[in-house]
Structures are given as C-alpha cells and as structure tokens.
Amino acid sequence: MLRRHRILLLDAAPGDLLGAELERLLGHGLAVTLNLRRVADRAAARAAWGGRVEFTDFDPFDEAALIAETLRDGGHQAVKSRAGVPFRAAFLAATAGGTATGGAAVSGDAGTATGPLRVIGRAGAGTDHVDLAAAARHGVVVTHTPGSNADAVAEFALAQLLALTRDLVGHNTASHQGDWRSPAAPARALSELTLGILGPGRIGRALAGRARALGLTVQGLGRGPAQGDGVRQADSLAELLASSDVVSVHLPLTARTRGLIGRRELALLRPGAILLNTARGGIVDERALAEALRDPGHPLAAAAVDTFEHEHAAFDSPLFGLPNALLTPHVAGMTRSAMAEAAVRCADHVAALLNGRPDGVPVAAG
C-alpha cells in the first residue's frame, strides 16, 4: 500500500486562499496536518476540511511546541511556513536526527508514512530563518519560492516612496486634528529624484521598471537592474548612498549583509534623503537609523521600514515613536496574487522533493 507523506502546515494562506493551498497539497497525495493558530475562522475550517486533514493548534514560534508537533504521531516528513518561523539547530536535530523513527520513513496508520523530517518549505523568498548548515547536516532540504512576491514588494516600496516624499502621514495626522497645514517647502517631483536600488534580483528589477515609468532616475548596485534597462550601475555602496535621494534595500540577510548599513553609511546620504527597507531586519542597523532620524542635522530625513530585527511576538524597535519613521509589520509581499502563488508553488516544490523529483525545484544552500 502506498503510504502518504505527512506535512505540517504551520501557517496556512489566509482567508479563502486556504482552500486553494489545501487542495493543492491534497492533490499531490500528501497527508496534511493544519495548524489552526493563525486561521481566522477555525470553526469554518474544521467544518470544511474535517475528515480530509488533521488539525492542531499551537504557537509555531514556541520551539518546544514546534518540535513536539512535528514529531507527533510518528513525525511529519515536511513542514511549511510563510511567516518566517525559526528552524534552528535544536529543532533540526530533534526532528530530522532520527528522533521519530531513527531512519527512513516506515509505514504508519491510515496509509500515512512516519519518519524524520526531510523537507522544509517556505512560501516566500527568504530563508534566513532556517539554520541552513544544520539542515544540510541532517539531510533536510529547504525549498522556497523566489520571485513569487516580487511585484507586490516592488509596489509596496513605491508606495513607501510616495508616502514619504509627499509627507502623506504628516498631512493626514494634521488634517485629522483640524490643522490646515501647508508644507514649509514644496515637495520635489518624482522626475527630480534619483532612486538607488541596493540589491540584485527580481524585486529590484520590478521596482526599477515602475520607478522609471514614473519619471525617476534609477541607479543600482548589484547584479539586478542593468544598464540595458535604463538603470545606471553604481561602482560602490558609498557611491550609491551619496548620489541617491531615495535608497531602497532589496538584499537577502546573510553574514555579509548583516549590519551593512550603519552609522558610517547613513552619514554618506544626500541631505534630505529617504531610506526604504522591505528586505530583512538586520541589514540596516535600527539603532543607528533611529539616532539618525532623531538628529535634525543628519542628512537622512525619513525612513520607511517593513522588516525588523525582532518581529511577531518579539516585535520591538528603537524606531518606535519617531514621526519621520513609517513602520509597517512585514506586509510588503502580502497581496492576494502573491500569497496565492507562493502557497501553491511551495506545495508543488515540497511534493516534488518528497517524491524524489528535485529537478527544477529551487533549493536554498548554506
């Protein structure tokens, strides 16, 4: 009898996208355990999917609970996350190091397989929440969905740019207080601004195309937007920072990029410059950024930050309360189309890997 691989769905796609994700996973023949913790209508989910999937309800950011649930009933061969649940060395050692069965998958009840963790799926591009070295040591493959949210993040970065260059938040606050406030100086048109895109990849290219269509001069640093796209390539980070009115960060978080923009780099910016970060917390030193935004003599005028060093239940930042800091809770990639694509692509990748068909599946390496 063919045994179905088990997958623990830590945080399903929201709303009616949940149905599309579950149908995709079940269509691949996977046995699904759905974590209800972040499902808005748990009763409706139980009514709609009872008998087809198993249910659990726990906080996936609690490592002890995450280990216990991954090992429950003989173990899951795959886990899927979209919210960046940390998969650290201790988790990988416990769930993939032989704790479940001590070896390859074996027969379980009701036609399901049991055995150690083999695949981690991320419905999104970044994999910095996974200890990739530990995953490799324990034979766990990490797959993700690069590019699935490129348009969504590019649009969000453009929205950040527009909000800050026209001081929409400040005008909104004043207007709600009955203050008919005119700007002290007229805002510059987009055609007067130079946008510096820090980082290669799909998001950088998507943002460059949109920005150029609106009349901005665009320059980049990295392997992304090319001169053929009408984007000038800066020779160094220092040059990009010193010659851009708006700098948008689109880099992965790695050992090389952690703390890449700190006090020294921020001091290189043009007077009145704006910084946007929709990439990862940790790339920009938040304490240095907060100090710069508090200093009226600093060249940095404002910043928009969507990603933080500490997020979710641990959300904390020295940027709290600063009027020239536009803060959002890591939502840049959360459009309906982006989340739907990421969910189904992740399901396809996990199923392919579990069934020994790795060709064409994106895999993150340490």
Give the residue numbers marked as catalytic: 280, 311, 330
For residue 335, what are the CA distances in angstroms to 91, 185, 338?
Answer: 31, 35, 5
Report which of 112, 120, 128, 115 is spatially closest to residue 53, judged by C-alpha positions.
Answer: 112
Angle between helices 168-176 and 150-165 (to 10 degrees): 60
* Residues paired with 305 in a beta bridge: 277, 327
Specify which residues 326 forms β-bridges with.
304
Please state whether beta strands 194-198 and 217-221 pair in parallel, antiparallel, or not at all (unpaired): parallel
* SS3 category, 45: helix
Annotate 178-204 with DSSP letters as a single string. T-----SSPPPPGGG-EEEEES-SHHH
22 to 109, 119, 125, 311: CA distances (angstroms): 21, 17, 20, 27
284 vs 22, 257, 269, CA distance in Å?
37, 9, 14
